[in-house]
Amino acid sequence: MPAVSKGDGMRGLAVFISDIRNCKSKEAEIKRINKELANIRSKFKGDKALDGYSKKKYVCKLLFIFLLGHDIDFGHMEAVNLLSSNKYTEKQIGYLFISVLVNSNSELIRLINNAIKNDLSSRNPTFMCLALHCIANVGSREMAEAFASEIPRILVAGDTMDSVKQSAALCLLRLYKTSPDLVLMGEWTSRVVHLLNDQHMGVVTAAISLITCLSQKNPDEFKTCVSLAVSRLSRIVSSASTDLQDYTYYFVPAPWLSCKLLRLLQCYPPPEDGAVKGRLVECLETILNKAQEPPKSKKVQHSNAKNAILFEAISLIIHYDSEPNLLVRACNQLGQFLQHRETNLRYLALESMCTLASSEFSHEAVKTHIETVINALKTERDVSVRQRAADLLYAMCDRSNAKQIVAEMLSYLETADYSIREEMVLKVAILAEKYAVDYSWYVDTILNLIRIAGDYVSEEVWYRVIQIVINRDDVQGYAAKTVFEALQAPACHENMVKVGGYILGEFGNLIAGDPRSSPLVQFNLLHSKFHLCSVPTRALLLSAYIKFINLFPETKATIQEVLRCDSQIRNSDVELQQRAVEYLKLSSIASTDVLATVLEEMPPFPERESSILAKLKKKKGPGAVSVTELEDSKREGGELNGGGDRGPDTAAMAASNAVSRLYHAEEGRQSKNVPTYVHFVSR
């Protein structure tokens, strides 16, 4: 880069900046700026032609004024004229002004493109770099159309200087990101890939950024880069810090290049060539070994560079998921970071172990750290670290530790940050369902979940427990008994009332033999919550009441009295009023057989994907819940996996026009042998 001579100091610019800094108020600053703008405008419009130095000085002042937050609507042409200068400082200021102030849709783009073409063909490395920087900064589509075919040629030319190659690679990367359809490598592909063998480390560092981006979009075209990347990585990893003195950062050889090489390799599967694969495994083992060595410096920069390479290497090991020894070693290394005093390292370790937990080779190794992770969930000050700890517990959960993990997550829920409670609720619900061997434990867990975090229990969660109870005869009596006891709490969440109303309406007869849970006691318990609930829950309870009449004829008079009161049959809400009127009439005119048919027990739900898993996947993003996990849930749940899309209840839940359709339904049932239900599903 040429040195700036003393004559280029631009004293006028220094005086103007000093005046601005000395202004006592905003008004004084604006007044001084307006005065300067008027002076510059008059100079540009004057009859006397300005020399290059004056143009440069005034353009610099305009640039400074723009950076202060003021609009600049002139001077662009003068900046373009500076591009034709043969002086570095004048050309530099011209390109700087254009990069900052010229819009990509400006009418001056064609003139700018002509100046850039002249500089690119000048073979002056300094001017070429300035032109390439301008292209990258503006990055317009018109520039991509003009130079997308020229820049690759400059990049791979044998006589191009190293500094220009670096600029060309990064410029091409910028154009590819803005206009990928215009940047076609074609014949240049193999020559660009071979830049990984360049002797200049700066060129390799710039080229690998370009190659990584191109490989992500067109992996097959650039697959030859794998062997070259492994070769270059091997040379760096095996070298001493003195071998790459110019690119050694706090005793770590070329850390940025190493990270980029490891990231490039993550775009491809493990190498098929045995020699290349063996060399890569050796590199990864060396990186893991170096992580165990005592630090060569106490400076944080040394540990940051060293750990950056380590985490990229672990990411590559996880990506390949084919070397059991490396996976276990990576897990053990991450385990050491779980109790590190640096918060960022603990966060990254938890995040990486979440991915390791999904590997069959390292899952058991991850499980050995369960106590440390549980402790992190309880004691970490940083909410993001606690969230990663919860994610890791979810990922490492299996049948052997499900009860312990679910219990710890439930315990944490009571004090968890509000921002992650809903996600925690979904995870607890999924784990309880997926690994439930004793379904009474599952019912206890979900009811406890509603008690602890009822506001964050979505419809999918309580729908799910009802679907499972309906599908499993062996848990229905226990569910009815447990929910009856839960409803006796003075403060009872509305979701608990919904679950209680549904289950007691369907299976209350299973616990009616106990005097403490007689039919009338069940009804009074449910009705004591009625006035505290929202309209949808009241609608569900009315459906439960009509079910009670079928299950327990002795409650008929009491329930009819409730349905007959003005607060029900004259309710301002149409849904509640219609249910009360129809259920009252239905209980009055229907025979016992007809009533039993219309109010028959809900049939089992069909087998489908868990709606809770689907919701968690939607909440966390497409990659949050793996296809394997979805399939495992469906397979392990068996008949437990009820309808994911159908909820047991919504705001509109009655048998619409039940009275008018009663006899038609009975006739249809007799002719088609199809039962007719009054149930808790939406119309």
- Tens of pLDDT, residue by residue over 144-181, are 999 998 999 999 998 899 999 999 999 999 999 999 99
Residue given tokens 């300067």 in the structure block: 36
Smallest CA-to-CA distance from 396 within 422, 372, 416 is with 372
Q: 298-333: per-residue pLDDT in tens? A: 999 999 999 999 999 999 999 999 889 999 999 999
pLDDT for res 246 = 82
What are the phi and psi torsion angles at 416 (to 5°)? Answer: -65, 155
How many angstroms separate the CA atoms of 497 and 505, rounded? 12
Residue with more model confidence, 681 or 504: 504
* pLDDT confidence band for 132 (50 / 70 / 90): very high
3-state SS, residue 649: coil
Question: Do residues 425 and 457 make contact, with C-beta atoms less than 8 angstroms apart?
Answer: yes
Q: How far apart are CA 662 and CA 45, in angstroms?
A: 93
Two structure tokens written together for 615: 């919701």
The stretch 186-205 carries a mean pLDDT of 91
Distances (CA, A) of 628 to 405, 452, 510, 614, 636: 21, 30, 38, 13, 12
Q: Which amino acid is located at 467 in the chain?
A: Q
Q: What's residue 566's pLDDT?
A: 85
Q: Are 202 and 164 in contact (CB under 8 A)?
A: no
Contact 211, 193 (CB under 8 A): yes
**More reliable by pLDDT, 631 or 490:** 490
Burial of 231 (0-12, 13-18, 19+ CB in 10 A): middle
| Both tokens assigned to 459 | 């419809």
CA distance 101 to 326: 52
Greater pLDDT, 528 or 659: 528
Q: At residue 192, does pLDDT exceed 50?
A: yes
Average pLDDT over residues 417-446: 89
Q: Kindly provide the residue ranges of all beta strands, DSSP E only, lying in 238-373, ordered along the sequence.
A: 248-249, 252-253
Angle, CA of 678, 681 and 682, to the nearest 5°? 110
In the block, tokens 């070329």 appear at 254
- DSSP codes, 247-274: GEETTEESHHHHHHHHHHHTTSPPPSSH
Alpha-helical regions (H) of 368-491: 370-379, 383-396, 402-413, 418-434, 439-453, 459-471, 473-486
Q: Is the pLDDT of residue 10 over 90?
A: no
Count CA atoms closer than 13 A to 184's CA, side-chain side.
5
Looking at residue 483, its pLDDT comes to: 94
Query: Do 134 and 112 meet the contact criterion of CB atoms below 8 Å apart?
Result: yes
Q: Which of 293, 325, 323, 320 is nearest to 306 (CA)?
A: 293
In the predicted model, is pLDDT for residue 480 greater than 90? yes
Give the helix/strand (H/E) hosting 669: helix 658-672
Q: What is the pLDDT of residue 619?
A: 66
* Average pLDDT score, the chain: 85
CA distance 356 to 363: 7
The Cα 335–Cα 323 span in angstroms is 18
Question: What is the band of 559 on the pLDDT scale with cuts at 50, 70, 90?
Answer: very high
Question: What gap in Å lies between CA 491 and CA 28, rounded to an integer?
Answer: 65
Q: What is the DSSP letter of 454?
A: G
Q: Please give the pLDDT value at position 622.
A: 47
324 Cβ neighbours under 8 A, 6+ residues apart: 361, 362
Least confident of 60-69, 201-210, 424-433, 665-674: 665-674
0.85 exceeded by pTM: no
Instruction: Report residue 325 as tokens.
Output: 């020894």
The whole-angstrom separation of Cα 256 and Cα 258 is 5
Q: Are 75 and 57 in contact (CB under 8 A)?
A: no
* Mean of pLDDT values over 458-479: 89
Residue given tokens 């002139």 in the structure block: 74
- Looking at residue 279, what is its pLDDT? 95
- Cα angle 85, 87, 91 (rounded to 5 degrees) comes to 60
Tell me what pLDDT residue 63 has: 94
Say what the pLDDT of residue 172 is.
Answer: 95
Give the C-alpha separation, 216 to 655, whole Å.
Answer: 56
Residue 249 has phi, psi (to 5 degrees) of: -120, 105
Q: Nearest Cα to 496, choosing from 565, 554, 449?
A: 449
pLDDT of residue 574: 92
Using one digit for the tens of pLDDT, what is the confidence trace for 20-69? 999 999 999 999 999 999 999 999 998 788 888 999 999 999 999 999 99
Average pLDDT over residues 2-29: 80
Task: State both tokens at 646.
Answer: 């159908």
pLDDT of residue 243: 66
Residue 637 — pLDDT band, cuts 50, 70, 90? Answer: very low
> Cα separation of 492 and 486, whole Å?
8
3-state class of 383 per DSSP?
Answer: helix
Burial group, residue 287, by CB count within 10 angstroms (0-12, 13-18, 19+): buried
CB atoms within 10 A of CB 218: 13
pLDDT tens for each residue of 518-554: 999 999 999 999 999 999 999 999 999 999 998 999 9
Would you put residue 250 in left (φ > 0), alpha (ψ -120 to 50) or beta?
left
Confidence tier at 271 by pLDDT (50, 70, 90):
very high
Structure confidence by residue, pLDDT tens digits, 321-365: 988 999 999 999 999 999 899 999 999 999 999 999 988 899 999
Q: What is the mean pLDDT of residues 177-201?
A: 90
Segment 407-431 mean pLDDT: 89
